[in-house]
Chain A
Amino acid sequence: MTIREIWQALGDIVIRMPRGFLVTFKHMFKKPVTLDYPRKREPMWPRYRGLHFLERYEDGSERCVCCGLCAAACPADAIYMEPAENERGERYAKIYEINMIRCIFCGFCEEACPEEAIFLGREYEFANDNRNSFIYTKEQLLVPFPRKDNPFKRLFRRVRKVYGIPGAKR
């Protein structure tokens, strides 16, 4: 060990090591970058695209006529549907399924829909431990009939769809 190396070692101990310790010490008083997640959440972007939902008319009948445009627009081929006719001769979707594992949440189905029936909501916590549960059926996607949100929100949602204005919550 030369004299020079000894000086260097001393410099490490006296100057450089405390400097490193100071860095971690300073970090103790900084604001944490993580969140207390389920209790607090990041503010969501207004145009966030989450889990889909199917809209209804005011009287509770489904808007979807099973035209297949959403399935055609879907780049991930995640939508499957089978049409049928009801007693009044109107088309409706007998089967309407979205595979949430395939879905890339691009929102093209929302753009393609001529009946304003499908929207992408704000739900993103639908993790599951079973692959089959990710195939959402029509019953799961339809909004509950005696709906909870008010007409203003619904109007807002439709306006958002047409003009691309930030949308409302499901």
Chain B
Amino acid sequence: MLEVAVISTLKVIVVVIVILTACAYATYVERKVVAFMQQRIGPLYAGPWGLLQPLADAIKLIFKEDIVPDRAERLTYGLAPMVSFIPAMLVFGVVPFSSSFTLFGYKISGVISDLNIAILWVFAVTSLGVYGTILAGWSSGSKYSLLGGLRASAQSISYELSYGLSIVGVIIMSGTLSMTELVGQQASILDWYIWRQPLGFLLYFTCAVAETNRAPFDLPEGESELVAGFHTEFSSMRFATFFVGEYAHMIAVGCVASTLFFGGWQGPLLPPVIWLTLKVFVFLFIFIWLRATLPRFRYDQLMQFGWKVLFPLAILNTMVTGLIVLW
């Protein structure tokens, strides 16, 4: 029993450290890739090729003054960054990072908690993230923030349904909610669920972009019209927590998408963790690519898109998959 506890704790610590570092470097990757796509150079000063830039950013943000507006709702204001950050981190508790391996004579499974309802957990928990945004917008005592929060809530209502429905196809086909089993079913590249659920994947990814508040669905923080939307009034580490939460969310979406549709850690030759990292990196790149390519959706366009395109398609996908499985 003690053995299990120690191993689990160590796994949690390792995963949290790795994910936080990955979040920091995701900002670097984003800045570099967007810079290259806009024919700029990007960060260069801190370290070789600007590789220490995330560290410099972190130090700067820690030492910045923490300003709380007079009209802010203190408790909620303090809570909001954590509410948007913690759900993103909770996802990694059920993501299978690797096959089980033996280390110092102990058999270690590649997942922190092999929950049999892992996918339900993922979707339940990531949907909580939007409360962070809404609370932040509401508690700041600023009009811009309030509008950002309002947008976040309206947006979440319009994509959350299709977000949930988009993966129902995969669940029907696999007959399981456990992520380790899902990975187990996709041993070869031909078994990947992307081939059987291409529409499901597209829907999932579109909704995931909206879920993570990334461009082109970054309405809650639209700089051009809302200053910075829900985090206008946040400074210092509170602001940074929002950002780390967003990047953690992106990585989480990458992990879940590769587990559901791209075989998770399965892959030849290279160790499983490397395969998962590569797949997640590809998703990160696509996130950044989207941001560099597409302009922001208008408010009504998003509603129309969510209700008139995504939702019917998700229902259609679910129904067709169900019929095929039944026959």
Contacts and interface: CB of A to CB of B under 8 A. Distances in A.
A166 B37 CA distance: 38
A9 B312 CA distance: 14
B123 to A, nearest CB: 25
Nearest to A35: B41
A20 interface: yes
Contacts of B39: 27, 30-34
Contacts of B293: 20-21, 23-24
Contact of A28 (B33, B41, B44, B309): B33
Nearest to A29: B36
A29 to B, nearest CB: 8
A36 interface: yes
Nearest to B35: A32
A57 interface: no
Interface in A10-52: 20-21, 23-25, 27-36
A27 B40 contact: no
Contact of B41 (A23, A25, A36): A36
A33 to B, nearest CB: 5
Contacts of A24: 37, 289, 292-293
B37 to A, nearest CB: 5
B289 A25 contact: yes
Nearest to A20: B293
Interface in B259-303: 289, 292-294
Given A24-B37, A27-B38, A36 B289 contact: no
B44 A36 contact: yes
A27 B36 CA distance: 7
B200 to A, nearest CB: 15
A3 to B, nearest CB: 15
Contacts of B292: 24
A32 B41 CA distance: 6
A35 B42 CA distance: 10
A24 B44 CA distance: 22
Given A20-B293, A21-B289, A21-B293, A28 B36 contact: yes
A32 B38 CA distance: 8
In this complex, the member of B40, B44, B293, B294 whose beta carbon has the largest number of chain A beta carbons within 10 angstroms is B293
B316 to A, nearest CB: 12
A32 to B, nearest CB: 5
Nearest to B36: A28
A20 B295 CA distance: 11
A11 to B, nearest CB: 15
Given A33-B39, A36-B41, 4 more contacts: A28-B37, A31-B39, A32-B39, A34-B41
11 contacts: A21-B289, A24-B292, A24-B293, A27-B37, A27-B38, A28-B36, A28-B37, A32-B36, A32-B39, A32-B41, A34-B39
